[in-house]
């Protein structure tokens, strides 16, 4: 099979209609990051872990929401299998996405077995507003004592990052 190259600019005069090529856009306009500074544990229903706010510069902007969640079973104190759900919510408390986290259990039945792991949640939101928008990460235990790690003594704790993308 032979390759045929066409010189599409040859013989063209005037302006091409906008539908014939991909326009620019998708520029990063601002980035806001909120680290989680302390550890949190729960044995109950959904509660807010932390929030982050951004004010879009245009109604056509999109917000790329990135949550990096570090979790463990430190201090579980039992041999059950702690697990839970982490979710990302937009300004109207609508769930953008959620993830289920599970551990392999605490083998010795005390707080000496620590299983650190991580999950990432990513969503693209279209707030259609130039007012401040607050995004949040919430979590709940599905069994056992479910823990989310903050930055504290760790190099990488949990964080929430909002990136405004221009249209």
Using alpha carbons, select from 29, 18, 1, 25 the residue that is nearest to residue 163.
Answer: 29
Q: What domains does the chain contain, in order, with CATH numbers?
A: 32-165 (2.60.120.1340)
For residue range 55-79, list pLDDT tens digits in order. Answer: 999 999 999 999 888 776 554 455 4
What is the rounded CA–CA span in Å between residue 27 and residue 143?
Answer: 42
Question: Per residue in 66-122, pLDDT tens?
Answer: 988 877 655 445 545 567 788 899 988 888 888 877 655 444 454 444 556 778 889
């Amino acid at each position: 099979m032979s390759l045929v190259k066409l010189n599409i600019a040859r013989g063209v005069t005037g302006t091409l209609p906008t539908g014939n090529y991909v326009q620019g856009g998708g520029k990063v306009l601002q980035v806001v990051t909120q680290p989680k500074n302390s550890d949190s544990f729960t044995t109950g229903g959904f509660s807010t872990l932390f929030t982050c706010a951004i004010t879009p510069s245009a109604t056509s902007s999109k917000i790329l929401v990135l949550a990096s969640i570090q979790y463990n079973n430190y201090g579980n104190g039992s041999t059950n299998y702690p697990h839970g759900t982490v979710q990302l919510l937009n300004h109207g408390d609508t769930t953008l996405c959620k993830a289920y986290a599970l551990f392999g259990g605490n083998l010795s039945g005390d707080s000496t077995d620590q299983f650190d792991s991580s999950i990432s949640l990513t969503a693209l939101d279209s707030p259609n507003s130039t007012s401040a928008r607050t995004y949040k990460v919430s979590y709940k235990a599905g069994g056992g004592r479910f823990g989310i790690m903050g930055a504290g003594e760790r190099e990488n704790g949990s964080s929430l990052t909002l990136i405004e993308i221009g249209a």
